[in-house]
Amino acid sequence: MDVNNIAALTGNLAVIGYGLAAVGPGIGVGLVVSKTIESIARQPELAARLQVTMWLGIAFTEALALIGLATPFIFA
Amino acid sequence: MINLLATVAHASSSGDAFEPPTIGEFFPNAVLFQGTIFEMNRIMMIRMLIVVLLIVIFSLWAGSFKKAYKTGKVVPSRFQLMGEISLNFVRNSIAHEQLGKKDGDRFLPLLTTIFFIVLGMNITGIIPTLNIAGTSVIGLPLVLALAAYVTFIYAGVKKHGLGFFKNSLFPAGVPVAFYILVTPIEFLSTFILRPVTLALRLMMNMIAGHLLLVLCFSATQFFFTSSLVEGAMRLFGGGTFLFGFAFTLFEILVAFLQAYVFTLLTTVYIQLAMADEH
């Protein structure tokens, strides 16, 4: 092994790619939920409708992470 | 029978080394009619089992509703109540909430079908001995997404004629020059990404859930039985087993949630297609 190498890495780059792809949706889902909690705290009687919207928002945001999960299989 | 239990016996099949789950999990060996288009593997058999179960349960529910209607019995039996609660959930909190009473009832058969098929196929992912979700291979989610796609385009065209395509591709209130930018984006998001994300969301959730469960439980098997593990390291097996158990509970939640989200999104797409002002 080359002396300049401190550590040799083995494995698949796609794993790092998915890690990066999960960051955005993670933050996104967190924002959606935190805002919903805030809104419900301000106006508890709207909880049911806000929750429906929250699930929709989560579904849209989470799709990005799932597309990231699919790409290694598509571009393998 | 060996084929049927292939997933369960995954970790033990290859001796002592730890073998993480692969995508091959979702392409089990054929059991019947190998090489023809009717090829049966255990996922197909699970799907057929669930379809038969759904048909039986729904006809029993229909029978009990009819009997109650005929005899004028006001207090429902336990089985009938279960049916009323499940069907009313889709009807009231999804269809009527988003579409209103009239249009909600128009699309209710499709929405109910989608909800119960997705729920039934998802829940097999955590039923012992079945252990894989019927929706974890692209075929079924694709068919359901296509049904949703055709339905929301039908709903839009029925209501607005060709104005539906104009509304969705050239939204009102945008400066004309911006249509160069807006129209391709709208086309992509409405007519391509909607069905693709519907199918992918469902399938990828189920795939990820199944892989997590297999990872946890094959690690448990590895730590408990492999000769490569020594001494106190075996205790890790208890940890992975607990994780696997927790994820199993989580998967029940995900199964219901994905059925709900799939139906809700279908409803919202129909509602957006029929909305007057874009």
pLDDT tens digits, one per residue of A1-54 = 456 666 677 777 888 888 898 999 999 999 999 999 999 999 999 998 899 999
pLDDT at B1: 35
| CB within 8 Å: B208 and A67 | no
Query: Which chain B residues contact residue A70 at CB under 8 A?
Result: 200, 204
pLDDT at B23: 83
Q: Which residues of A touch B (CB under 8 A)?
A: 52, 55-56, 58-60, 62-63, 66-67, 69-70, 73
Residues making up chain A, counted from first to last? 76
The answer to whether the beta carbons of residues A33 and A55 sit under 8 Å apart is: no
Chain B: give the shortest CA distance to residue A32, in Å.
15
Distance CA B10, CA B5 (A): 9
Out of A52, A66, A73, the one facing B201 most closely (by C-beta) is A66
| CB within 8 Å: A55 and B208 | no
pLDDT at A5: 64
pLDDT at B7: 46
| CB within 8 Å: B208 and A59 | no
pLDDT at B15: 62
Nearest-5° angle of CA B206, CA B51, CA B124? 30
The answer to whether the beta carbons of residues B46 and B124 sit under 8 Å apart is: yes
Residue in the structure block whose two tokens are 């009231």: B92
Which contiguous run of DSSP H or E holds residue B64? helix B42-71
Chain B: give the shortest CA distance to residue A66, in Å.
6
* CA–centroid distance for A63 within its chain: 8
| CB within 8 Å: A66 and B204 | yes
B203 or A72, greater pLDDT: B203
The DSSP letter of residue B28 is P
- Number of neighbours of residue B64 by Cβ within 10 angstroms: 18
pLDDT at B9: 46
Spans of chain B below 70 pLDDT: 1-15, 277-278
Residues B42-58 pLDDT 10s: 899 999 999 999 999 99
- Outline where chain B has alpha helix (H): 42-71, 78-88, 97-99, 101-123, 139-160, 163-169, 179-187, 194-225, 236-274
- Using CB atoms within 10 Å of the CB of residue B241, give its burial: 0 to 12 exposed, 13 to 18 middle, 19+ buried: middle
Query: Which chain A residues contact residue B265 at CB under 8 A?
Result: 56, 59
Out of B204, B264, B265, the one facing A70 most closely (by C-beta) is B204
Distance CA B145, CA B133 (A): 17
pLDDT at A45: 94
ipTM computed for the complex = 0.76
Q: Which of B117, B133, B138, B140 is nearest to B43 (CA)?
A: B133
What tokens were used for B237? Answer: 């097996």
pLDDT at B53: 96
Distance CA B110, CA B11 (A): 41
CA dist list (Å): B265 to B99, B190, B274? 12, 12, 14
Q: Residues B240, B242, B247, B248: is their CA dihedral positive or negative?
A: positive
The DSSP letter of residue B276 is S
pLDDT at B11: 44
Please name the residue of chain B whose CA is at the shortest distance from the CA of residue A68.
B204
Torsion of CA B111, B113, B115, B117, to 10 degrees: -160
